[in-house]
Amino acid sequence: MALSSLAFPPLHLQLPSSHRSSSSKPFPHNKLILHPIKASISETPSYTPKPTDATSSPAHHQPTKLPLRKIPGEYGLPLIGPFKDRLDYFYNQGREEYFKSRIQKYQSTVFRTNMPPGPFISSNPNVVVLLDGKSFPVLFDVSKVEKRDLFTGTFMPSTELTGGYRVLSYLDPSEPNHAQLKKLMFFHLSSRRDHVIPEFQNSYKELFDTLDKELSTHGKANFNSLNDQATFNFLARALYAANPPDTKLGQEGPKLIGKWVVFQLHPVLKLGLPNFLEDLLIHTFRLPPALVKKDYQKLYDFFYKNSTFVLDEAERMGISREEACHNLIFATCFNSFGGMRILFANMLKWIGRAGVKLHTELAQEIRSALKPSVHNNYNNKMSLLAAIEKMPLTKSVVYEALRIEPPVPTQYGKAKSNFIIESHDSKFEVKEGEMLFGYQPFATKDPKIFDRSEEFVPERFLGEDGEKLLKHVLWSNGPETESPNVNNKQCAGKDFVVLVSRLLLVEFFRRYDSFEIEVGSLPLGSSVTVTSLKRATSF
């Protein structure tokens, strides 16, 4: 993908999550576990892709006749089966073991089970699970599966949380307003593309300046809380020409978004409360939307006031200003803000674990590619984009972070008709109306596709063989080798996300040689605490 030629499709990152930093509510952090990561003692060995990594291996082109197998698994008795599975998923086993144990039990990566929340929030928790890289992509095929109201899974949050509208993420491409709203999102980001790079640089310079001060004063600094504010400021400045600290919203944006998102996702979150209390409070009944109505109104007022040019375009397209504004809030706050806060922390976690060798290689590559840009004009968008294209390791690291820990782990689709699904070793028939579910980390860590699939391998996507693997990077609700359009559900901001992820690494390693961190677990994503920063010694 040539970033220098990007038209910047609009902001609609399909990331159904946002987590709270360790210094903000409502996520409790009483169960936060920190593990020191010393960059100097955790180096990544060199990596040479094996033939099994690439789908061009001879075996891949020798079709084998797979046996047709009945989909194994069971749903159990009504209410009892879903409730038991919910307890296993959240408490008795945990998500990863929940899936692994059933793969072992049924000797299959395709099986039947129940997905939370179940009673009494979702009316039908029965799903067919797809846990390998071969079967999973059917969830992107809108000719076979319907995506209507399935963004969050077997339940849909109340539309009271989005102004009474079903926003774009919940629409199937067959619905008339899907194309119109997605075109509006394309228009939005395209019209503001020239502001993305400078506002990112400004916002993250502020973040790193504050990071330096906190580290100097306290000996450590929480990246998540600083990233929350930097991300929101960046999105507001770049996409709406508004600086939140200068408005009535002030510094409240991230906190308001966090509360609003929890009210939408609480049925599938694990917050760390006592098990019985948590299951009763957030997994059995819906939280009343009225409790965040005032918070959401503050966000609405901010976006309505600062998105006049987009709302004008919406009216020309036949979309009401109100519906357009609610969609802008969701795309910016839920999809993009939520996704960037998870993805950026995850990237720093994996890079920190990889060690000082990778840090040095990234710093050298980035600074070497930037030197001509710095001499000419570092702030020139085209020269910087051209320099970024000369950073293959940086590009590979971003894709590897998206592969090993995709910010959106789950995908759903409802079968439009009877059809056959294939795993690596069997075929299965699904029936019209059945719900299909895929847990993406199992698909993108499929050992039959990726060598050393459970490891973070920075060099994985380098070279011709590495490029061939990109079709198995699925974070954007579609393969990395494909592009979003009005007829699919792929993330409309796909290239935007890849760009800002690379920009984060560019800004970081322009400034620092290496770093050390502590990592903890959050309900969604990772907590990253910076404990040491080595400032750049040369540039």
257-277 per-position pLDDT tens digit? 999 999 999 999 999 999 999
Question: CA–CA separation, 243 vs 518, rounded Å?
Answer: 31
Q: Distance from CA of residue 192 to its chain's centroid?
A: 22
Check residue 471 and give its pLDDT: 98
Q: How many Cα atoms are found within 13 Å in the side-chain-facing hemisphere of 123?
A: 2
* pTM score of the predicted model: 0.89
Was 325 annotated as part of a binding site? Answer: no
Question: CA–CA separation, 461 vs 444, rounded Å?
Answer: 13
- What confidence tier does 538 reach under pLDDT thresholds 50, 70, 90? low
DSSP secondary structure string, 391-452? -HHHHHHHHHHHHHS-S--EEEEEESS-EEEE-SS-EEEE-TT-EEEEEHHHHTT-TTTSTT
Check residue 56 and give its pLDDT: 41
Structure tokens at 263: 């009210």
For residue range 279-327, list pLDDT tens digits in order: 999 999 999 999 999 999 999 999 999 999 999 999 999 999 999 999 9
For residues 129 and 439, the answer to whether their CB atoms sit within 8 Å is: yes
Tokens 């579609």 belong to residue: 478
Bridge partner residues of 68 (DSSP): 427
Task: Give the DSSP H or E segment for 309.
Answer: helix 308-317
Mean pLDDT of the chain: 90
For residue range 70-82, list pLDDT tens digits in order: 999 999 999 999 9
Structure tokens at 458: 């920075």
Per residue in 463-481, is it b (16+ CB within 10 Å) or e — as a string?
eebbbbbbbbbbbbbbbbe
Check residue 523 and give its pLDDT: 87
Check residue 376 and give its pLDDT: 54
Question: CA–CA separation, 68 vs 52, rounded Å?
Answer: 25
Check residue 380 and give its pLDDT: 74
Mean pLDDT of 91-102: 98
- What confidence tier does 375 reach under pLDDT thresholds 50, 70, 90? very low
Task: Give the DSSP H or E segment for 36.
Answer: strand 35-37
Mean pLDDT of 326-343: 97
For residue range 485-534, list pLDDT tens digits in order: 999 999 999 999 999 999 999 999 999 999 999 999 998 899 999 999 99
CB 287: neighbour CB atoms within 10 A?
17
Q: Which amino acid is at 316?
A: R
Check residue 49 and give its pLDDT: 61
Question: CA–CA separation, 151 vs 155, rounded Å?
Answer: 9
Q: Residue 205: which of 233, 247, 224 has the closest Cα?
A: 233
Q: Distance from CA of residue 221 to its chain's centroid?
A: 24
Of 51-65, 82-96, 236-250, 478-492, the range with the lowest mean pLDDT is: 51-65
Q: For the packed helices 381-388 and 494-511, what is the interaxial angle rounded to 10 degrees?
A: 90
Question: CA–CA separation, 538 vs 368, rounded Å?
Answer: 11
Check residue 5 and give its pLDDT: 32
- pLDDT reading at 381 higher than 80: no
- Over pLDDT 90: what percentage of the chain? 84
Question: CA–CA separation, 191 vs 26, rounded Å?
Answer: 35
Mean pLDDT of 29-44: 40
- pLDDT reading at 377 higher than 70: no
Q: What is the spatial order of strands in the sheet that 221-222 belongs to?
A: 35-37, 512-521, 526-535, 221-222
Check residue 372 and give its pLDDT: 72
Specify the 3-state DSSP secondary structure of 385.
helix
- pLDDT reading at 213 higher than 50: yes
